[in-house]
Amino acid sequence: MQSLEFFDCNCSFGMRAIVNPGSFYKLEDLTDNMEHCGIKRALVYHSMAREYNPMVGNDMLMKEIEGHPSLYPVWVVMPHYTDEFYTPNELIYNMKSQRVRAVKMFPSPADQNYSISDWNCGELFGILSDFNIPLFIGANQISFDEIYSICTAHPNLKLILTDITYRMDRNLYPLLKRLPNLYIETMGCKAHDGIEMMCKKFGAERLIFGSGMPIYPGIAATAMISYANISDDEKKLIAGANLQNILKEVKL
């Protein structure tokens, strides 16, 4: 089995309202766990951007990951109409100046509580699409109908669905068939032969490696790919090449 260069699409750090037993919150614990699991690089966001305020948390992220070349910033974004966040044009300007190439959203009522319909987020989705900026969003944040609406209204927007569960395949498969701009994070592909079936039906190019650390163990996420019954070339794509290719297409 060849050595894989894992590039994690779904990591975070920082204090949280609830620190799950066995998890961690310090940046140094994240980098230590990455080294232990063989994860070379990671896209990361700050917990305070989710649980407190995106502007504050994004600023904390940039300051705290300085000097960590293996960590790539992901900004949490939201609609701008209440003046709590950048306008879309301001967002692009600031992402370009700070070399941020990916964004994440937390629209659910349990988190930042806003509609992701086009009347609220269409302008944001449009500019992300214009600049090929990938959008990461959790399956616990969005409905299947909303996924379909976003991906069809913005066919050039790459949407990476994270935090799926093994019970979602009956809805994910028809979405993947109809939406070429939809990608799936691997951490939740825990159904029997889940990775293998997705590769067979939709191609390894649609799968992006993610661990979900610190909530979930990184070593389990890497093992799912390392020991999957797929080719070495497919493993290489999933482990890091797919994410690297998506980030190369960003036009900032």
Q: Let me know: does 12 contact 24? Beta carbons within 8 Å.
A: no
Chain segment 79-128, per-residue pLDDT in tens: 999 999 999 999 999 999 999 999 999 999 999 999 999 999 999 999 99
Chain segment 49-67, per-residue pLDDT in tens: 999 999 999 999 999 999 9
Q: Let me know: does 79 contact 85? Beta carbons within 8 Å.
A: yes
Chain segment 165-200, per-residue pLDDT in tens: 988 999 999 999 999 999 999 999 988 899 999 999
Q: Homologous superfamily of 6-248 in CATH?
A: Metal-dependent hydrolases (3.20.20.140)
Cα atoms in the Cβ-side hemisphere of radius 13 Å centred on 221: 33
CA distances from 100 to 8, 58, 59, 184 (A): 16, 10, 12, 21
Token output for 77: 């974004």
| Single pTM value for the model | 0.96
Chain segment 9-21, per-residue pLDDT in tens: 999 999 998 888 8
